[in-house]
Structure 1
Amino acid sequence: MKATARVVAEHTTSGTALRVLKGEAPLLPRRTGPSEVHFVGGAAAPLGGDDLTMEIEVGPGAELTIRTVAASIALPNRFGDASRLSVSVSVAEGGRLLWLPEPLIAAARCRHTTVSTVDLDRDAELVWREELVCGRHGEDPGDVRLTTVLRRDGRALYRSDVAVGPHARGWDGPAGFGGARVHATVFRTGETATTSSTPTSAVMALAAGGTVATVLGRDLIETRRITDALVTPPQRTGKAAVTPQGSTAIDSPLVRRA
């Protein structure tokens, strides 16, 4: 299945307007707050053979929070085809994006790749969280690769590549996950958080500005004890977010795929 979703947030004199809010199953965006969008899984996804695209645009001075209503499960199809999700994000000057989806679960025998590219203008703000769960209960994960590239004014700010599964040699060894089932990463612009490190986590300041935390754990409860402290940005004043008329949406029925 091929599907595309697009969300565009713009700042107006009365706050943030969601000018575009459209998608196709299984990528169905739903407005759940003045400047908040939840993606609903309109079908099982990502499934082997899927080619999915998400486009997010935050205009100058606008604010947007992206979430999902549930975890995503990368599943194989009967032909062994690979699936792919491409995420393209831009945040203009003075804009802010909080990217806080629920985790991706790598089911057995899946072959999935997610590539996320984020372009930030000079003083744009970003909180970006990615969580990967290695297999459902009692199973080993399939092959998953997550590639994330963040740029500021066209220059590299941060790049991450995470690969797990049978074809990712050594991923679960002592130099990799070391038996952990959950991998979580949070990147945040702005004031640098206090750096720290343990055998299963590291909070680091980046040379180009911002903070990145990488955490390994047995479950999400364990990893979120650390990452939750980084995903709440400072409160802005004088920028109440509203959703005036002019937003567009596509309402599609939920469907199932065998």
Structure 2
Amino acid sequence: MTATGVRAHARIVARADGRGGTALPVLDGDGPLALRRTRAAGGEARVMVVGAMSGPLGGDRLALTASVAEGARLHVGSAAATIALPGQTKGEARYDVRLDVADGAELHWLPEQLISAGGSDLYVTTRVELATGARLVLREEQVLGRAGEQPGRLTSRLTVRVAGRPVLDQELSCGPGAPGGWDGPAVLAGHRAVGQLVVVRPEFADRPPEAQVLGECAALIPLAGPAALVSAVAPDALRLRRLLGEAQALLAE
């Protein structure tokens, strides 16, 4: 920890163990990002991110990288929601996630919600690099403010590349100081929970899912590659999770 906030970097490396399972030769938590291996399911290794400290707070610089080698399967979740807080140090906090998935590997990245508490200022980036035959299920959920609270400033950028080619690059900024219109009908329309689900499967290259509206507040969109995006808004975290869960089940069919 420094006078300008916490600096922390957690790392996960998953590799096939040669026996039909997945080994974790690197599972290195740091600062507020503690990593715990949980019970495996079949050949899939499972890791839980556990918040060891409050945060991210103003001025913090947090990073988490995960690398999934050929033939490995990894599922990453979190024990609780992440809450961005203002802290004593002024200035923006950053949380950078980098995910690399090799050919023939699979990653399920399914953390709990990120909550932007009043007075906070967080910039979060998620960058995903996939080989041609990689598989991915990635869910992001953001909640603007706790119950009865105005949100902080939250900017989130998500980029996904397959075989070096971009299939998704989007950024959303909400809260005080964000560009005008973020709460208007073209973006959140007054909702306080927003999320996206990205599914990458090699078979989508030949048989992409059909674009469709999912209820009143979600849409499924095939991307320019073996991938699909579901974007959703909802009044609260519970209904957002329900929308994205239904979309995930639909894409798994």
Match of 1:18 in 2: 24
**Distance in 2 of aligned mates of 1:8 and 1:69:** 20
Q: What one-letter code is carried by the residue in structure 1 that aligns with 2:11?
A: R
Aligned to 1:27: 33
Equivalent in the alignment of 1:248: none
Q: Which has the higher contact order (CA 8 A, sep 6+)?
A: 1
Q: Structure 2 vs 1, CA of residues 160 and 33 (structure 1 numbering), >3 Å: closer, same or farther? A: farther
Q: Retained in 1: the 8 A contact 2:7–2:31?
A: no
TM-score calculated relative to the size of structure 2? 0.89
Which residue is 2:63 aligned to? 53
Does the 8 Å CA contact 1:7/1:18 hold for their aligned counterparts? yes
- Unaligned runs of 5+ residues in structure 1 are 236-258
**C-alpha distance in 2, partners of 1:148/1:103?**
15
Aligned to 1:207, the other structure's residue is in SS state: coil
Q: Structure 2: how far apart are the matches of 1:230 and 1:141?
A: 27
CA distance in 2, matches of 1:229, 1:61: 28
Give the corresponding residue for 2:235.
218
CA distance in structure 1 between the partners assigned to 2:69 and 2:211 by the alignment: 31
Q: Deviations over 1:13-38 (max 9, x none)?
A: 21111111011120001001220000
SS state at 1:221 partner: helix
Which amino acid in structure 2 is aligned with residue 27 of structure 1? L
Unaligned ranges ≥5, structure 2: 1-5
Q: How many pairs align?
A: 235
Q: Which residue of 225, 228, 239 maps to 2:245?
A: 228
Task: Identify the match of residue 47 of structure 2 among 22, 31, 37.
Answer: 37
Alignment map for 1:48-127 (pairs within 5 Å): 48-127=58-137
Say which SS state the counterpart of residue 241 (structure 2) adopts. helix
1:187 and 2:204 aligned: no
Q: Which runs of 4+ in 1 moved over 6 A?
A: none
Amino acid at match of 1:218: P
Q: Percent identity?
A: 36
Task: Specify the code of the residue in structure 2 equivalent to 1:6.
Answer: R
Give the Cα separation in 2 of the matches to 1:231 and 1:67: 15
- Residues 80 and 111 in structure 1, CA contact (< 8 A), matched pair in contact too: no
The alignment yields a C-alpha RMSD, in angstroms, of 1.6
User: Normalising to structure 1: TM-score of the pair?
Assistant: 0.87
SS, match of residue 150 in structure 2: coil
